[in-house]
Amino acid sequence: MAELDRTLYEGRLYRAGFTRIAGVDEAGRGPLAGPVVAAAVILPVGYYHPDIKDSKQLSPQKRKALYEEIQSVAVAIGLGVVEPSVIDQVNVLKATLMAMNEAIYDLSVQPDYLLIDGNGRLPCPLPQETVVKGDNLSISIAAASIIAKVSRDWIMEIYDRQYPYYHFSRNKGYGTKEHRAAIEKYGLSKIHRWTFCLKCLDNSQELPFD
């Protein structure tokens, strides 16, 4: 099978005169615990790397190596982090858009065009395009997916030291069997998503925060 060309979106925009294209993606919409983290990445015009693709298709070791590569070549990188308490207040979809907005405003260079993973437009004045499954179709979005995923994993590894009985370094807050068993035994920590946990665990009784 031929290698997928992930530069088609960028190439079209470069030809239209855009030179500061920011790919935007998030990590952490589905976990029971931890923040949603979004990244915005502006790559140099014409940059290409065959291994930069959807972070979910990469091993942790490969993601970290590509994280370093992206950090070394990117024109600018921005991060946005929305904590679990806010996710509970506004829901995870709105929290994702908030994190993406934060990532864009965190860029040291203002982009002239946004390529956004998914189908949710952002409430900002910049020209933008949403791309369903964009993390496998656009190198800029793929780069953002790697930055967001590695950054969030590091956050969860820090939380693992604060809450070792949930094994966040292994499950990254996702609802694994081990994680669910820990919730049943210890209750919810301060970084769990209260509303989402109760819905997913189908528990009629509230689980206590520690």
pLDDT value, residue 10: 97
Higher pLDDT, 154 or 199: 154
Query: What span, in angstroms and rounded, lies between the C-alpha atoms of 208 and 72?
Result: 44
Query: What span, in angstroms and rounded, lies between the C-alpha atoms of 84 and 77?
Result: 23
Contact 153, 60 (CB under 8 A): yes
Strands (E), the chain: 21-27, 36-42, 76-82, 113-117, 128-131
Query: What span, in angstroms and rounded, lies between the C-alpha atoms of 120 and 107?
Result: 20
Residue that is written with structure tokens 């790697």 in the block: 146
CATH topology of domain 8-156: Nucleotidyltransferase; domain 5 (3.30.420)
pLDDT tens across 30-69, in order? 999 999 999 999 999 999 999 999 898 999 999 999 999 9
Q: Does the pLDDT value for residue 206 go beyond 80?
A: no
The closest alpha carbon to 84, from 28, 165, 39, 40, belongs to 28
Tell me the pTM. 0.93
pLDDT category of residue 4 using cuts at 50, 70 and 90: confident
Give the H/E segment covering residue 148. helix 139-162
Strands across the sheet with 113-117, in order? 76-82, 36-42, 21-27, 113-117, 128-131
Check residue 198 and report its DSSP letter.
H
Q: Are strands 113-117 and 128-131 parallel, antiparallel or unpaired?
A: parallel
Q: Does the pLDDT value for residue 203 go beyond 90?
A: no
pLDDT tens across 173-184, in order? 999 999 999 999
Higher pLDDT, 48 or 209: 48
Give, in order, the Cα–Cα distances in Å from 32 to each of 56, 88, 174, 175, 193.
18, 11, 6, 6, 6
Residue range(s) in the chain whose domain bears CATH number 3.30.420.10: 8-156
Mean pLDDT, the chain, rounded, equals 93
pLDDT category of residue 1 using cuts at 50, 70 and 90: very low
Q: Does the pLDDT value for residue 208 go beyond 60?
A: no
Averaged pLDDT, 101-116: 97
Q: Does the pLDDT value for residue 127 go beyond 50?
A: yes
Query: What span, in angstroms and rounded, lies between the C-alpha atoms of 147 and 78?
Result: 9
Higher pLDDT, 42 or 209: 42
Q: Does the pLDDT value for residue 205 go beyond 90?
A: no
Q: What are phi and psi of 29, to 5 degrees?
A: -75, -30
Q: Does the pLDDT value for residue 210 go beyond 50?
A: no
Surface-to-core class of residue 200, CB atoms within 10 Å of its CB (0-12 exposed, 13-18 middle, 19+ buried): middle
Q: Which residues, listed in sequence order, are joined to residue 85 by a DSSP beta bridge?
A: none
Q: Does the pLDDT value for residue 204 go beyond 70?
A: no
pLDDT tens across 68-87, in order? 999 999 999 999 999 999 99
Give the H/E segment covering residue 84. helix 84-90
Averaged pLDDT, 142-153: 98
